[in-house]
Amino acid sequence: MSENLLELNDVTVSFMARRGGTKTPINAADHVSLSVRRGEIFGLVGESGSGKSTLARLIVGLNSAASGTVVFDGEVLANKKRPRALRRQIQMVFQDPYSSLDPSMTVRQQLTEILKVHDAVSDSQRKAHCEQVFAQVELSPTLLSARPRQMSGGQRQRVAIARALLLSPELLVADEPVSALDVSIQAGIIQLFADLRTRLGVTIFFIAHDLAVVRHLCDRVAVMYMGKIVEEGVTSELFANPRHPYTRALLDSIPRLQPEAHEEIVAPEGEPPSLARLPSGCRFRSRCPFATEKCALEEPPLIDVTSSPDGSLHRAACHYANELEAYVGRSSTV
């Protein structure tokens, strides 16, 4: 049993995008490497165009990698044609609770179908198993007879999580599972993920566009921009000491609930470039306040940042990662 449950080794996922009349290939994920340890909650954060959803779908086998490998529990995974046994191990929770459940079937029917196709549990045990999984996501078993349209967003999302847990997977990929929910419901779902990891030991790959959510839930975080990982590290370390200008820009952009009266919102300049026409060198340089000529010439590799106090892995893809001045941030409690 390897320590890393999941490894992405230099994976590239590319699509044909239509621009005007022509089709150009774009790399939605570009030479991405990361690893997820067994039992941890790993957060992947990025804005639109970052490639995070692409990676999620790659991991669960809905995409193929043009190059690079996906390694799960020591085995290299085939792209799309995977054995059913493997599919049990990696499950996904989608973003939109309103379209991730089949509107024409009851919840029970959808769950039972999965159990039947995988022949996971004997006929007589199915009912009990469904109820047990429902209890794990804190839903009353009466909802098993409901159809999706009779349930609220939060309930549907819990059903989606229950569906993902049915086959006792080792890895749960959650693609922005709370983005479409009201904030008062969101907190319950985030807490549920944390509880599931504690109770069931399941490894969670959590994708979000919201750094704040990730801070509350994840052990380690990676930040993506335009298809590349720009920073990666232990959550507390990354938030206390961000070493990539984009991470800093993200942190600065987030509106705070209690901004000091004199503080203004800090916003990074410019727009993200188009994936079809990336700038030379570093992708972030067109918006980076620290960019130099070197940034236009050379694409910065992910390098180790030397300042993590506990020696944990902290990497950033910036030529000046180690030279940036300490991050003061917007909160005065640093």
Q: Give the nearer residue to another protein in terms of CB position, either 38 or 87.
A: 87
Q: Cα-flanking dihedrals φ and ψ of residue 237, to 5°?
A: -65, -45
Q: Which residues pair with 27 in a beta bridge?
A: 14
Binder of another protein out of 17, 66, 71, 105 (CB under 8 A): 105
Give yes or no for a contact between 89 and 42, defined as CB atoms under 8 angstroms apart. no
C-beta of residue 59 within 8 angstroms of C-beta of residue 173: yes
- Choose between 60 and 222: whose C-beta lies nearer to another protein: 60
How many residues of this chain bind another protein (CB under 8 A)?
83
| Residue from the set 28, 111, 139, 221 that interacts with another protein by CB under 8 A | 139
Going along the chain, which residue ranges are E strands?
A: 4-19, 22-37, 41-45, 67-72, 75-76, 90-93, 171-175, 203-208, 220-225, 228-234, 303-304, 314-316
Do 11 and 65 touch, CB atoms closer than 8 A?
yes
Per-residue DSSP letter, 18? E
Which of 161, 157, 153, 159 has its CA nearest to residue 200? 161
> What is the footprint of another protein within residues 196-215 (CB under 8 A)?
209-213, 215
What is the rounded distance in angstroms from the CA atom of residue 61 to the CA atom of residue 171?
13
Q: Can residue 216 be called a binding residue for another protein (CB under 8 A)?
A: yes
Closest to another protein by CB, 191 or 322: 191
Smallest separation (angstroms) from another protein to the CB of 3: 26
Nearer to another protein, 2 or 136 (CB): 136
Binding segment (CB under 8 A) for another protein, from list 2-10, 65-73, 124-132, 141-149: 141-149
| Closer residue to another protein (CB): 256 or 294 | 256
Q: Count CB neighbours of 120 within 10 A.
A: 15
* Residues of this chain, 42-81, that bind another protein according to CB under 8 A: 47-48, 60-62
Binding another protein by CB under 8 A: which of 133, 172, 250, 282? 250
Applying CB under 8 A, among 8, 41, 101, 171 the residue interacting with another protein is 101
**Closest CB to another protein among 209 and 303?**
209
Site string for another protein, 252-291 (x = CB under 8 A): xxxxxxxx-x--xxxxx-xxx-------------------
Single out the residue of 66, 146, 296, 324 in contact with another protein (rule: CB under 8 A). 146
Q: How far apart are CA 119 and CA 240, in angstroms?
A: 47
